[in-house]
Chain A
Amino acid sequence: MAEIALQNIEKYFGDNYVIRKLNLTIAHKEFVVLLGPSGCGKTTTLRAIAGLETIDTGDIRIDGKAVQDLRASDRDIAFVFQLFALYPHLTAYDNIAFPLRATRESKAEVDTKVRAVARSLRIEHLLNQRPSALSGGDMQRVAIGRALVRRPKAMLMDEPIGALDAALREEMRSELKRLHIENDSTTVYVTHDQVEAMSLADRIAIMNDGVLQQVGTPGEVYQYPTNLFVAQFIGSPVMNILPATVRAGGADGAEVVIGDGDAVFGFPADLPKRLEAKSYDSLVLGVRPEGVIISTTETAGHVPVEAHIIEPLGAYDIVDLKIGEQLLRARTHSGMVERVGETVWARLDAAQTHFFDTKSGDSLNIRLGEENGTRQA
């Protein structure tokens, strides 16, 4: 069992307030990813859980027991870093066995454990190699093996695959996830890469400037970002963000005006009424590229716009549409818009459109047509 609870954690580096009243509970067996840009406090949080960093206020509880005053070695937690930190003069076998030296286990017991870990990491054939003979991926597998061999209550990982090339990262992601399921260990994982977070996490905790922004499943943070920061940090290509005003009228009952009238999109009639119930200064509209629906022929309810740039990404294209001085990016099937400069017709899918308060950046939690909204494939 290992449930990790962070309660009202605060941390200063001198005058620098790096963790601000952080509350987060990581359930037993859960895989939680701390995600954010560099300097957001995610690594400091992880190091605080490990005992490598002290905290100024708050409690860190593992299975209900406050551990903030315990030394790192007494917390029964394993740590994997971005840099492999293996002993260069020891073989892969001895590197993995190293943490067991102090446990006074028999040679046979150690051997069984090392081989079991090596099997699950598929590095059995490399056990006699020294680190210098291993590839980057294999070195990181050995480092992970060394962390796993003790069967720690919890695994903490700080960008463990950040230094590997793209293809290897993809492969290691799936291995890490399967390993986690096999080992049942509570895992906290730090990264700045949203793709990694989305593909590994049971829940993602997004941080910015020391403040926890949102905690949710990958689906939740993608579909219901709580503010502009989360909306733009999660997802690639990034969510379109455009200043907007809303008025009643038009064929659909309501209209959303982008900028100073650069484009006017029809929206369901209950939008103005639902906005009335909210308090905000001015509006920012957010819509992901897949929520911008394109037609190459003139279509009722669609607005004519110019295709400015086409990015063919293989399975699909991203087309930048010109709306006044701003760009609206749409995801289309491959080859749909043929030429730059062409006019296409666009509308916004109300079920995939978000509204934020410009000043606070908070989502107004308005989603239209959700009950019968269909997502574009």
Chain B
Amino acid sequence: MAHVRLERVTKTYGGVTALRDLTLDIADGEFFVLLGPTGAGKTTTLRLIAGLDKPTSGVVSIDGQDVNDWTAAQRDIALVFQYYSLYPRYTVRQNLEFPLKSKVHSYSQSEIDGRIASAAKTLRIDHLLERKTDKLSGGEMQRVAIGRAIVREPRAFLMDEPLSNLDAKLREALRSELKDLQMKLGATFLFVTHDQIEAMSMGDKVGVLNEGRIAQIGTPYEIYNSPRDVFVASFVGSPAMNLAAGELANGRVSALSGKLDATLAGEAARDTSGYSGPVKLGIRAEDVVVGPDQPVEARVHHVENHGVEQIVTLRVDDHLFKATVPATLRMGIEDSVQCGWSADKIHVFDAQTGVGFAYREAKAA
């Protein structure tokens, strides 16, 4: 078990800065997800923790010990990759035995058998132990790859997009399996992904990474409901948060060529008090209301049936934005509908920096 910490870590490759002044704290037994688009520095972070790379500056520590000069083997951390990298001509059992038979360790055969039996049971692959790995499905192979990490009983698990090669149905099933596994093992997990649904559904904490910097760290609930900036707002959540340029004056916001006109309420009102000027406004699709009593006329631009609900793209003049509506509501493309917003659900961001007003003071301090 391990508490992993990165302190002011910077990593450059040649002239390119992959990570900039990154500080990250992963508590013992936590499921931490590092989320970001391609090139954000997720995999670099993982490699620094695993010991496959050294930081240009800053400190990586495990359980309070500076491990910058430790080799990957000394750190005793298991890595699971997107590609399973199993030995194809070996059986599942041989693949699981392999990490336990290295020269570094000397485990008795009964110890090895015990660990394999327990890992196989946890992952529900006990019936596959004698099968060759090239006879397995993608999901089974990924379970074996995870099994190979589990038998080592490492101090922490690092996973680099382990689900991205699997089809949608299997990904969904493995999401809750992995979360379940982590809870059972009580182990520290660092999981890297570009898929916000994976991050939200599995993470105790999510760190959103953008261009080598941490944009926000928080629980899934925090990053969804109070995103620190427009990047987090538009990266987390599907459909993405609707964003539009607007004006704020005396607690009133206006946007969409004046069609959106609302007096801010709740947190947004408090956070912006005293400010007037250009802003960026955000509202989630589920906070856009469609119904006959709503103030703004819009055209239906596109309708997506998602079974339990529909996601409609609405058009006001040239502005497009999305609304979540019940599946039972009949909506045709180019229909005219009325829509509105609940004022206390509007997010307000700085027009220049894109930082939310709730976070502006913290930044200045």
Contact = CB atoms under 8 A, between A and B. Distances in A.
A193 B172 CA distance: 13
Interface in A243-280: none
Contacts of A234: 307
Interface in A277-323: 288-290, 308-309, 311-315, 318, 320
Interface stretch (B61-69, B73-81, B90-98, B322-330): B322-330
A193 B221 contact: no
Given A170-B239, A311-B201, A334 B221 contact: yes
Candidate in B180, B237, B240, B308 with the most chain A CB atoms within 10 angstroms? B308
B202 interface: yes
B221 A312 contact: yes
A232 B173 CA distance: 12
B305 A314 contact: no
B103 interface: no
B233 to A, nearest CB: 11
Contacts of A167: 240
Contacts of A318: 201
Nearest to A329: B176
A43 to B, nearest CB: 15
Given A219-B305, A222-B307, A193 B168 contact: yes
A198 B306 contact: yes
A296 B175 CA distance: 25
Contact of B326 (A38, A331, A375): A375
Contacts of B179: 309, 311
Given A195-B306, A218-B305, A233-B169, A314 B326 contact: no
A199 interface: yes
B167 A37 contact: yes
Interface string A156-192: 0000000000110010011001100100000000001
A330 to B, nearest CB: 12
B286 interface: yes
- Of listed B168, B324, B326, residue having the most chain A CB within 10 A: B168
Main secondary structure of the interface of B (DSSP, over half): mixed
B324 A192 contact: no
Which of B225, B240, B327 has most chain A Cβ within 10 Å?
A: B327
B224 interface: yes
Contacts of B197: 313
B328 A192 contact: no
Contacts of A238: 169, 172-173
Contacts of B311: 199
A264 B221 CA distance: 33
Which one of A38, A173, A195, A235 has the greatest number of beta carbons of chain B within 10 Å? Answer: A195
Interface residues of B, number: 43
A236 B168 contact: yes
Contacts of B225: 334
Given A174-B301, A237-B172, A375-B328, A313 B307 contact: no
B279 interface: no
A335 interface: yes
A198 B168 CA distance: 15
Contact of B168 (A194, A314, A334): A194
Contact of B327 (A177, A219, A232, A233): A219
A37 B168 CA distance: 10
B284 A315 contact: yes
B136 interface: no
A181 B301 CA distance: 11
Contact of A327 (B167, B176, B238, B305): B176
A375 B308 CA distance: 9
B308 A288 contact: yes
A174 B313 contact: yes
A85 interface: no
A44 B220 CA distance: 42
A360 B180 CA distance: 32
A133 interface: no
Interface residues of A, number: 45
Contacts of B306: 195, 198-199
Interface in B291-348: 301-308, 311, 313, 324, 326-328, 333
Given A309-B176, A314-B224, A335-B221, A218 B308 contact: no
B186 to A, nearest CB: 13
A192 B180 contact: no
Contacts of B237: 314-315
Interface string B211-229: 0000000011100110000
B26 to A, nearest CB: 19
B185 interface: no
Contacts of A102: none
Contacts of B286: 315
Given A198-B306, A218-B307, A192 B333 contact: no
A119 to B, nearest CB: 16
Contacts of B327: 219, 222, 375
A340 interface: yes
A377 interface: yes
A315 B305 contact: no
Given A177-B302, A235-B307, A375-B328, A314 B175 contact: no
Interface in A183-240: 192-195, 198-199, 218-219, 222, 232-238
Contacts of B195: 166
Nearest to A199: B304
B52 interface: no
B200 interface: yes
A192 B200 CA distance: 24
A341 to B, nearest CB: 10
A312 B324 CA distance: 17
Nearest to B284: A315
B305 A311 contact: no
A170 B302 CA distance: 11
Given A192-B167, A313-B200, 20 more contacts: A167-B240, A174-B304, A178-B301, A178-B333, A195-B306, A199-B311, A218-B307, A288-B307, A289-B308, A309-B183, A311-B175, A311-B176, A312-B201, A314-B220, A314-B237, A315-B285, A315-B324, A331-B308, A375-B327, A377-B326
18 contacts: A166-B195, A166-B238, A170-B239, A173-B304, A174-B301, A199-B305, A218-B305, A219-B327, A222-B305, A288-B307, A309-B176, A311-B200, A312-B219, A314-B200, A314-B284, A315-B285, A327-B176, A340-B183
